[in-house]
A and B are shown apart, each in its own frame.
Chain A
Amino acid sequence: MTTPEVNATVHTLGLSALSTLTLLQPPISEELEKKILESTIKLYFEPPSDKGKTKTPEQAEQAKQAQDQINANFNELLHSILFMDTTTVRLVRLINILSAKVCRIPPYFFVWHESVSADRILAERTIHSTLQARIVLCAARASRPS
């Protein structure tokens, strides 16, 4: 027996339902919020792979529209969470969850990826180090009594 595939419409409606749930009183707990985001974030960052499937231009356009709708509903979910608690603590928590997903790309990916050269990575690192030093110097200068 095979598991039926969940299509984009179900994902879209599910995200919409979660947005409504988030807007209801009492506000959802931090734990539940984390669970909701962890299970839905993949719909945004890891859209279904179409490798090996041949698609007509119409099917490709439909798939793109479906993904756009999923992305819009995911953004709406984030906005609902923020609406219920407009503190920077909540904002930072959302950013941290999103950033963790973005930064999960393994480092060796960048080595294999030909567009990023070793020179580029070293140059980037030099900039960061210099930036750190510069900020410390600027802050020290600012805090020094005149």
Chain B
Amino acid sequence: MTLFKKFVEYKSSETGEKPEKSFASLGECMGRFVPRCTDPDVKTRLMAMESIEACLFINHVLETSGDQEGYVLQPPAQLQPAPELRRRMVTEEIHIQFGLVHQLSTVISSLLSAAELSPFLNKVHKCNSLSLSRSLLSLTST
């Protein structure tokens, strides 16, 4: 998380030509964090959700600052529900987590471009495969 904070800090002090117009490999990066939103460890869950927010925020900043002087550090309106979802994610109740991740998917889908959707789903699918192997191992051992 400190990496994201530092990135925003360094970007905010930059002036001149902008080398990027969007977040490179946003989908793949998000696909890494999404599966951790339901991690058994509460700290990991919160960190994953915060990282998702940071990725979407950085992407929005890069996209909207193209023609402007410096970078416009304004979060997108679609990201507004995310901090509240994160706050409620401290719960250990899996059904509530399900509901929260469900709501988070609305936020993600409204900010993720169509081009990034495929790499995102591929990454989540890879993590799902790992989860499946864990499930099978659990079932065979019980």
Contact = CB atoms under 8 A, between A and B. Distances in A.
B82 interface: no
B117 A127 contact: no
Contacts of A75: 2
B131 A128 contact: yes
Residue of A131, A136, A139 contacting most chain B CB atoms (<10 Å):
A131
A1 interface: no
A107 B129 CA distance: 11
A74 B135 CA distance: 35
Interface residues of A, number: 44
Interface residues of chain A: helix, strand, loop or mixed (majority): helix
Nearest to B6: A79
A45 B20 CA distance: 32
A17 interface: no
A138 B105 CA distance: 8
Contact of A135 (B6, B117, B137): B117
Given A88-B62, A110-B134, A127 B7 contact: no
A103 B38 CA distance: 15
Interface string A109-143: 01100011110111111111111101110110011
B128 interface: yes
Interface in B1-16: 2-4, 6-7, 10-11, 14
A92 interface: yes
B112 A82 contact: no
B128 A125 contact: yes
Contacts of B101: 127, 131
Q: How large is the interface on B (under 10, 10 to 19, 20 to 34, 35 or more residues)?
A: 35 or more
A135 B23 CA distance: 19
B10 A129 contact: no
Interface of A: 75, 78-79, 82-83, 86-89, 91-92, 94-96, 99, 103, 107-108, 110-111, 115-118, 120-132, 134-136, 138-139, 142-143
Interface of B: 2-4, 6-7, 10-11, 14, 19-20, 22-26, 28-29, 32, 34-35, 38, 40, 58, 62, 94, 97-98, 101-102, 104-106, 108-110, 112, 114, 117, 120-121, 124-125, 127-128, 130-135, 137-139, 141-142
29 contacts: A75-B2, A82-B6, A82-B10, A86-B11, A87-B19, A88-B20, A88-B25, A88-B62, A89-B20, A91-B4, A91-B7, A95-B3, A103-B130, A121-B134, A125-B131, A125-B135, A127-B38, A128-B35, A130-B102, A131-B104, A131-B105, A131-B124, A132-B121, A132-B124, A132-B128, A134-B102, A138-B105, A138-B110, A143-B114
